[in-house]
Amino acid sequence: MEDEAIVRLFFAREEAAITEAQNKHGRICMAVARRILPDERDVEECVSDACLRAWNAIPPDMPRSLSAYLARITRNLALDRRSYNQAEKRSTALECAFEELEPWLRAENTPEKALEGAELRRFLNGFLRRESREARIFFLRRYWYGESIREIAEDCGCSEAKVKSSLFRTRTHLREAMDKEEITL
């Protein structure tokens, strides 16, 4: 079933929408959650909860990409679950990825300098559109999906050094773009 038809089922409040969404996009949601959570039961629960959240949000939300919409919800739920489950910090690929980005994203908590979430998304989307396709793929796989540099290199058929240098250049470009636009976080 096509995404548009599934979204119409959500709008019609047909419970089949949840089943169809899980059938079509369950694997990508499971993959997203597995990168963040070690326990398969937590992964399954996050995917189920993501479908329930979609049920509660559509309507009024009208996602352009149902797959991306469900993956984002799943990722946020998995991050929340991971925070809840962890009593002490453990080093994972995702934590390493976030630590790599930290120096490029300065944290300033003043209301005058903080961006709204929608503005930040618009800025990041515009920034990534200006980067090369390869740089976008590396960046999203590392910082959105939390994949290790080795996994990215193997899947993309290149060396780890190439992935590392591309990510470094992209982070540098991001910082420069943020400075140019006077964006602080």
Q: Tell me whether the omega of the peptide bond preceding residue 59 falls within 30 degrees of 0, making it cis.
A: yes
132-152 as b/e: b if 16+ CB within 10 A: eeebebbbebbbebbbbbebb
Strand ranges inside the chain, DSSP E: none
- Over residues 100-155, the pLDDT tens digits come to 766 655 555 444 444 456 677 788 888 999 999 999 999 988 888 888 889 899 99
pLDDT value at 19 more than 80: yes
Instruction: Please state which of the ranges 38-42, 83-87, 120-124 shows the lowest mean pLDDT.
Output: 83-87
pLDDT value at position 103?
A: 62
Domain range annotation of the chain:
3-85, 93-180
The CATH number of 3-85 is 1.10.1740.10
- Over residues 21-31, the pLDDT tens digits come to 999 999 999 99
pLDDT value at position 152?
A: 92
Mean pLDDT, the chain, rounded, equals: 83
pLDDT value at position 130?
A: 93
| CA-based torsion, 69, 71, 74, 78: positive or negative | negative
pLDDT value at position 46?
A: 92
* pLDDT-derived band at 94, boundaries 50, 70, 90: low
Q: Which residue has the tokens 């590396």?
A: 138
What percentage of the chain carries pLDDT values higher than 90? Answer: 43
pTM of the model: 0.57
182: left (phi over 0), alpha (psi -120 to 50) or beta: left
- Fold designation for 93-180: Arc Repressor Mutant, subunit A (1.10.10)
